[in-house]
Amino acid sequence: MLNDMQKDLLTELVNVYVGQAANMLSEIVDKHIVLSIPEVELISFSDVNPKDRRYNIFFNEGHLFRSSLQFGYEFQGKAFLMFPAEQAKVLANMCLGELTETVVPEDFRLMDTDLDVLKEVSNVLLNAIIGEFGNFLELKLEYVLPDIELIHGTHSDSQILLQNEVYVLVLHTSFSLADTDVKGIIIIALSMSSISSLLDKIDALLGAYHG
């Protein structure tokens, strides 16, 4: 749905937003965290290919950490931050100063301290991205406090998760600290009016750049 110019501009914008979030997270955990979004896509979930490795998390039958933030008013939708449980555990370890590149399956259990850290990470990241989208569009936002949960993911779960939204922004994420790299995914399910507002603003900005 995005042409190359729209995709490049949106990726550039999102990386500015997550860069600001990374700075806030670095201050919170007192460690330098690099956070990047190498790819941004606007897709219809029904068109996702189960064989595409970029979307493995949608079809992962293992345990997933999922945080969600609902927002509305003039810009409406729901944002999700998702990691396989093992990756969530590594991220929590990173923030708590226990650097490990991997965890064995039996050690992926998320303790209360892990969940507290992950909730704070999710809150900072999702609020920063959605808030900056609102600023970019000059639209008012209202938030519902984010929820976190550990779920057993299946394809059907993902369909239920997004069944009320036609299109979703998919942001492939990468957290880096020292030599540790954690990959997850951010999904922003938007109302059609919100998608239209976003694309109109992007096109207007591109027109100004190349006019």
Domain coordinates in residue numbering, the chain:
4-210
Q: What are the tokens at 111?
A: 């303790």
121 vs 69: CA distance, rounded Å: 13
Give me the numbers of helices (H) and strands (E) for the chain, helices first please: 6, 7
188 vs 23: CA distance, rounded Å: 22
Buried b (16+ CB within 10 A) or exposed e, 36-60: bbeebbbeebeebeeeeeebebbbb
170 vs 55: CA distance, rounded Å: 9
Q: What is the pLDDT of residue 154?
A: 56
143 vs 158: CA distance, rounded Å: 22
Quick: pLDDT tens for 50-76: 666 666 666 566 788 889 999 988 888
58 vs 46: CA distance, rounded Å: 12
Q: What is the DSSP string of 38-105?
A: EEEEEEEGGG--TT-GGGHHHH--SEEEEEEEEEEETS-EEEEEEEEHHHHHHHHHHHTT---S---G
174 burial via Cβ count (<10 Å: 0-12, 13-18, 19+): middle
One digit per residue, the tens of pLDDT, for the chain of length 211 reads 789 999 999 999 999 999 988 888 888 878 888 888 888 888 876 666 666 666 666 656 678 888 999 998 888 888 989 888 888 888 888 888 775 555 554 556 788 888 898 998 898 899 999 999 999 999 888 888 778 888 775 544 444 455 545 678 889 888 887 677 888 888 888 888 888 889 999 999 998 877 5
What pairing do the DSSP bridges indicate for beta strands 167-177 and 77-84? unpaired
Fold assignment, 4-210: Chemotaxis protein chec (3.40.1550)
150 vs 148: CA distance, rounded Å: 7
Q: What are the tokens at 155?
A: 């394809």
Q: What is the pLDDT of residue 31?
A: 80
What's the start-to-end Cα distance of the chain, in Å?
Answer: 23
Q: What is the pLDDT of residue 160?
A: 42
Q: What is the pLDDT of residue 100?
A: 55
pTM of the full structure = 0.83
Check if the beta carbon of residue 119 is closer than 8 Å to that of residue 107. no
201 burial via Cβ count (<10 Å: 0-12, 13-18, 19+): middle
28 vs 24: CA distance, rounded Å: 6
Q: What is the pLDDT of residue 185?
A: 87
Q: What is the pLDDT of residue 84?
A: 84
